[in-house]
Structure 1
Amino acid sequence: MTSDGKGIRLDVYLEGDSKVYDIEMQTTGKSNLPKRSRYYQGMIDLNLIEKGADYSELKETFIIFVCLHDPFKHNECVYTFENRCKEVQGLQLGDESTKIFLNASGNKKNLPEELKNFLDFLSGEEPRGRLATEIARKVELAVQHEEWRTEYMTLLQRDREKFAEGMEQGKILSIQRLLKKEMDNDFILSLGYTQEEIDEAEKQLMTTV
């Protein structure tokens, strides 16, 4: 979840003075990773900045998905995305948000040795190098710790519930923005929202007025 327990639970959340890292482990070949990265970015930004604070207080963020399957089917081990202008070559938006997808099944030929060892370990090979060996040791300790296993399963179930709640609340907030713009009921329904969601959005909106 975000660092103060709001919204969602992130696999690994590291926050320093100027940078934030969110690392997500992805073991299945789901196709919604780009939009999930967008969702996580939004939730992290909301957590970083208080209401009424200046946007300059937002820290540089890196969202990193560690995948066992190639999410983009180009056989790369590292896919790095930044926001850039389509019309002007080389012009970056400068919003200091980077999304990185690591692919354990890609071509590891030109990778740094530590990263190659790490991705090989994820693919099922024996751990080699400092990072992979240390991770393997920590995993073994966790497997042997009954209390940690129970806690993990409890958190996993809560994560799933929180993610579903977050998606639903996101719909409510979108409907509320439409209502504030005085969009009529039929138009909102035409966008794919249900009447129950519209009613809930109106109810929540009235309680905050």
Structure 2
Amino acid sequence: MVKKIEPWFGFTEDKVFGMVMENKDFCKYLLEIIIPDLKIKNIDWLDKQVEINNSERKNKAKEVRLDVLVTDHEGRVFNIEMQTTDQDDIGRRMRYYLSRLDLRYTLNKGKTYRNLKDAFIIFLCNFKPKKDDKFYESYHTYSDQDRSKQLQDGVTKIIINSQVSAEGQSEELKALAKLMNNEPVKLNKHFDYAQRRIKEINEDPETREKIMLYETRMLEREQAAGKAGYEQGMQRGIAKGKQEGLKQGVARGLEQGKVDSAKIILENQLNNGSTLTQATEFVRNLKLISNKELEKIIALYNSHKN
């Protein structure tokens, strides 16, 4: 009898990342090796899997679920995210996450903008990089006319991609890359803890079941989004056909409905974490439209993106 091979849930798995990072000592250590100049004394508050919504726009504003949210002894806010799929939208994603943080956490009512807390958005990425990507990149706001002039907005954005060579980086960051790549790390007690915790999670049947249930729910959500997109597109197409008032128009509307469905499903797939290649393959397998029509949609998407 062939023994079933169970999947290994590593550091980059959504739930595992949160469980490892809930240890304040490890979280503080990780921030220290990523931003060593800050000299963080202690973490005053930590939460994971935080959903930030605007109650005034709950039906319109996109929900944000932050992986790890931390403040330190000076009130600085740190958002640490694990990204395993390339949406080609990291910059805009960081912008939106920051806007939600500012709305909820960085400025108390009655305070002036001078009291706005410093914010750090950190993305730990584990996907195929582009040619010019570096292992560690930090971003600030500079003048287009004078690069030596920095706008003091209190915002730092950092992107680390473990799939890029960490040559020239500190031993700690090299160890972080190994941890993200499911490679053994022998460096210090902090990485010993992380690897031990990951092993405990994988060896606990109840925890594994919860992780698998979570991933199943994410898949179901993705499939539900596809179904909703199909139905929405079909209704839109039928409405167009009825407006034309002819059988030919209805038929044409139905065909257009399939195209609209494909567009909506593709967009839903992208919004739920799929790459463009994965989303395209998902739509193609539904066989709603011809490959030629699908290619037109992809071409239109790329033209809008550029």
Normalized against structure 2, the TM-score is what?
0.46
Cα distance, 1:71–1:37 mapped onto 2, change above 3 Å = farther
- Structure 2 residue 71 is matched with structure 1 residue 10: no
Partner secondary structure for residue 63 of structure 1: strand
Q: Is the 8 A contact 2:50 2:68 kept in 1?
A: no
> Structure 2 stretches of 5 or more lacking a match?
1-46, 54-63, 226-306
Q: Name the stretch that deviates more: 31-40 or 118-127.
A: 118-127
Whole-angstrom CA distance in 1 between matches of 2:52 and 2:125: 25
Q: What is the aligned counterpart of 2:97 among 40, 44, 67?
A: 40
Whole-angstrom CA distance in 2 between matches of 1:33 and 1:116: 22
Q: What does 1:56-135 correspond to in 2, within 5 Å?
A: 56-69=114-127, 71-130=129-188, 131-135=190-194
The two structures, once aligned, show a CA RMSD in angstroms of: 2.9
Q: Name the stretch that deviates more: 125-134 or 112-121.
A: 125-134
Number of equivalenced pairs: 159
Give the partner amino acid of 2:210.
T
Q: What is the aligned counterpart of 1:22 among 79, 88, 102?
A: 79
Corresponding residue of 1:171:
none
> Structure 1 stretches of 5 or more lacking a match?
165-209
Structure 1 or 2: more helix by fraction: 2
For residue 145 of structure 1, report the CA deviation from its aligned partner.
6.1
- Specify the structure having the higher radius of gyration (Cα): 2
Whole-angstrom CA distance in 2 between matches of 1:142 and 1:2: 17
> Which one scores higher on RCO, CA 8 angstroms, separation ≥ 6?
1
Whole-angstrom CA distance in 2 between matches of 1:62 and 1:145: 36
Cα distance, 1:73–1:149 mapped onto 2, change above 3 Å = farther
Q: Is the 8 A contact 1:65 1:100 kept in 2?
A: yes
Give the partner amino acid of 1:25.
M
Cα distance, 1:133–1:89 mapped onto 2, change above 3 Å = same
Normalized against structure 1, the TM-score is what?
0.65
Runs of 4+ more than 3 Å apart: 1-6, 50-53, 70-73
Q: Deviations over 1:34-91 (max 9, x none)?
A: 1110000000011122455322222111100001125553241101100111112310
